[in-house]
Amino acid sequence: MCGICGIFDFTGNTIDQEIIRRMKSAIVHRGPDGEGEFFDKEVGMGHRRLSIIDVGGGGQPIGNEDSSIQVVFNGEIYNFIELRRELQKCGHQFKTCSDTEVIVHAYEQWGISCVKRFNGMFAFALWDGNKRELFLARDHLGIKPLYYITLGNQFLFASEIKSLLQHKYCPREVDIDALAELFTFRYVPSPKTLFKNIMKLPPAHTLVVSRSGIRIERFWNWEPVERKEYNEPDLIEEYQALLEDAVKLQLRSDVPLGLFLSSGVDSGMLLAIMSKHNTKPVQTFTIGFEDGEKTNEVADAKILAQMFGADHYHQILGPSDYVSYYERYMWDLEEPVGNETAAAFYFVSKLTSQHVKVALTGQGADEPWAGYDRHKGAKFSGIYSQLPCLVTNSLASLISMVPGRMERLKRGVVSLSEPDMLTRLIKIYSFFSADMKGHLYTGTLKQAFEADHYGTRHTLSRLQKNVKHLDPLSQMLYIDTRANLPDDLLMVGDKTSMANSLESRVPFLDYRLVQFVESLPPELKLNGFNGKYLHKKAAEKWLPKNIVHRKKKGFANPIEDWFRVGMKNYVEECLLSNDSAVARYFNQDYIRQILSLDRSGKEQYRRQIYLLVSFELWHRKFISN
């Protein structure tokens, strides 16, 4: 796990080394163990290292025998031992034991298609001095981030946006289209960011830069084909074997590993497998919240840890911890999201980093396995949309008038009456309905909205076209796994863990596992109203049934109550002050209504409020400042 950055000059001018060094300094938290750089006329690359594999000999950049190829790499290639053996049989000579060097020789052997052979999480840049080309790639599911921008005659790339901003000509402007997408999806889908002209390479894509221009291609074009005939016990055994192999691969490390432990099935499965293959007790880490008795996982996680003899640590957080952290929250995240649990990942990462340098997490099991409530709505949307409009419209109108904490239900009913699948999906995601946006937006944002209420649908259509032959639920799971997951949860997981110089790994997103799950018929993912059906069946090999089927809590926190009481003044200062960024784009009178309705209990608007606060903090940190 590291930080990378670099510049390519289309006109062949020599790169200013001082800019590369400033870019490196901005991401020192991603790699406090060492640094390196490489320059060759029109290209310059920088690297910050967090030593995980080959601690003594894996410094970067790493090159081939004649130094014509150089690579800077962020992430892990988990199958590097197997690839190394294969490459050695082809005659390649290795000078280190690192997984980074495997990328160099794999490129020599197989060209840019080498990425199809990598099982891992990666974002890297490789300079081919013979071809005078810069080759960039991002892993199958976007676990590792990679940003880029073209500034005049130069192309810049980096692991984080703050590194790009070190260039004096890098703009700091809000992208209005991306802002509209943020308030539709609660994140900005790839390839855009909220910064105008700063892009992110989508998951499973390569990018080649040369003097002739930029070429972007998708290298993982997996299109699921549903199994028509199957034996359920055989599938359970196949999944168990795949998961165990994925965990074993991701236990490869030359430094201590730990586990983010919740009270649920996903991290519990990882703990069971890790305990089987570890010679020492697994170190596990959990956080809880003041006044969060209904959602806290501390007690249950401790029992789970004791069950497997783990060394367990936990921490309790309160509103003051959040207020203190929010001063740097967006500096770490760089992209606002409507994910109210995002800050929690920072705190569990901070706790974990005090004991280990690598932690496995249970992220990535819900999206392909139908683990969220919205997936239940998607399953029955086909039936619902065929009902007479009189029935569906009446039901939607009735639900919308019911006061209280039913935000998800209201959003779901409104979306179900939409006949177009992609628009229905967007309505499910969006915290802000079309009516709310009409009241909230002002200025250019309101003009863009009035021109096309759902103009953002094209950002997901490129993914939907691969699965139009599948049922609505399978389409949603496929899109969730390639859009919502990398641009929201995985981005948050990477940025908050790396802010603490901690590497986080996600075994459930081994691409072989994802392909297996996506080949299953929908009833093995969502059986009736039972989500993650086969996943939970498989978990019974390792965990008691009462834990397997325990209600999901995740990183739930009482921030709704905190916003109303302990953080009330903080929220008002963010959203209602005259000089706030929110006032430039949004109707503050309407925001007052939202706050009032939420605090009275008449409506539940915590997600909308959280997204507005996140945008304000982002704007203050990067645009206003």
pLDDT greater than 60 at residue 403: no
pLDDT greater than 90 at residue 290: no
pLDDT greater than 70 at residue 1: no
**Do 330 and 621 form a contact (C-beta atoms < 8 A)?**
yes
Rounded Cα–Cα distance for residues 64 and 418 (Å):
56
Rounded Cα–Cα distance for residues 182 and 176 (Å):
10
pLDDT greater than 80 at residue 340: yes
pLDDT greater than 80 at residue 408: no
Distances (CA, A) of 409 to 403, 416, 439, 607: 12, 11, 21, 14
Q: Please, which pLDDT band fits residue 446 given cuts at 50, 70 and 90?
A: confident
Residue-level pLDDT at 387:
63
- Greatest distance between any 2 Cα atoms in the chain: 73
Q: What are phi and psi of 153, to 5 degrees?
A: -95, 10
Q: Please, which pLDDT band fits residue 388 given cuts at 50, 70 and 90?
A: low
Return the percentage of the chain with pLDDT > 70, whole number: 91
The least confident of 145-159, 213-227, 444-458 is 444-458
In the annotation, is 90 catalytic? no
Rounded Cα–Cα distance for residues 345 and 556 (Å):
11
pLDDT greater than 70 at residue 395: no
Q: What is the pLDDT of residues 297-322, one digit of tens each?
A: 899 999 999 999 999 999 999 888 98
Average pLDDT over residues 492-517: 97
Strand partners, 284: 259, 312
Residue-level pLDDT at 373:
84
pLDDT greater than 90 at residue 90: yes
Residue-level pLDDT at 313:
97
User: Residue 396 is inside which H or E element, if any?
Assistant: helix 389-400
Q: Is 213 exposed, middle or buried (0-12, 13-18, 19+ CB in 10 A)?
A: exposed
Average pLDDT over residues 486-500: 97
**Do 413 and 395 form a contact (C-beta atoms < 8 A)?**
yes
Q: Taking Cα atoms as reference points, which of 51, 28, 208 lies closest to residue 133?
A: 208
What CATH number matches the domain at 2-218, 1.20.1730.10, 3.30.390.50, 3.60.20.10, 3.90.550.10? 3.60.20.10
Residue-level pLDDT at 110:
98
Average pLDDT over residues 117-144: 98
The least confident of 453-467, 486-500, 590-604 is 453-467
3-state secondary structure of 60: coil
The whole-model pTM stands at: 0.94
Exposure class string for 428-456: b at 16+ Cβ within 10 A, else e: bbbbbeeebbebbbeeebbebbeeeebeb
**Do 198 and 161 form a contact (C-beta atoms < 8 A)?**
yes
Rounded Cα–Cα distance for residues 429 and 330 (Å):
22
- DSSP secondary structure string for all residues of 155-170: EEEESSHHHHTTSTT-
pLDDT greater than 60 at residue 410: no
Q: Please, which pLDDT band fits residue 250 given cuts at 50, 70 and 90?
A: very high
Residue-level pLDDT at 499:
97
- Sign (positive/negative) of CA torsion 24, 26, 27, 28? positive
Average pLDDT over residues 204-208: 98
Residue-level pLDDT at 393:
58
Residue-level pLDDT at 396:
55
397 versus 322: the higher-pLDDT residue is 322
Q: What share of the chain is helix, strand, coil (3-state, %, to 5)?
A: 50, 15, 35
Q: What is the pLDDT of residues 61-79, one digit of tens each?
A: 999 999 999 999 999 999 9
Set 2, 5, 114, 574: catalytic member: 2
**Do 540 and 548 form a contact (C-beta atoms < 8 A)?**
yes
The ranges of the chain annotated as CATH 3.60.20.10 are 2-218
- DSSP secondary structure string for all residues of 473-487: HHHHHHHIIIIIIII
pLDDT greater than 60 at residue 600: yes
The ranges of the chain annotated as CATH 3.40.50.620 are 232-369+488-548
How does the average pLDDT of the chain come out, rounded? 90
Termini Cα distance of the chain: 30
Average pLDDT over residues 213-224: 96
Return the percentage of the chain with pLDDT > 90, whole number: 72
Rounded Cα–Cα distance for residues 539 and 543 (Å):
6
Structure tokens at 205: 């894509």
Q: How far is C-alpha 61 from the chain's CA centre?
A: 26
E strands of 415-574, at which residues?
503-505, 526-527, 530-531
Q: How far is C-alpha 214 from the chain's CA centre?
A: 25
pLDDT greater than 90 at residue 593: yes
464 versus 22: the higher-pLDDT residue is 22
For 232-369+488-548, CATH number? 3.40.50.620
pLDDT greater than 70 at residue 490: yes
105 versus 291: the higher-pLDDT residue is 105
Residue-level pLDDT at 183:
92
3-state secondary structure of 173: coil
Instruction: Kindly give the residue spans of alpha helices, DSSP state H, lying in 44-96.
Output: 80-89
Count of all residues that appear for the chain in the document: 625
Residue-level pLDDT at 421:
77
pLDDT greater than 80 at residue 419: no
Q: Please, which pLDDT band fits residue 407 given cuts at 50, 70 and 90?
A: low
The sheet with strand 503-505 has its strands ordered as 311-317, 283-289, 257-260, 358-360, 503-505
Average pLDDT over residues 422-437: 83
Residue-level pLDDT at 376:
82
Rounded Cα–Cα distance for residues 515 and 615 (Å):
35
Q: What is the pLDDT of residues 544-557, one digit of tens each?
A: 999 998 877 655 66
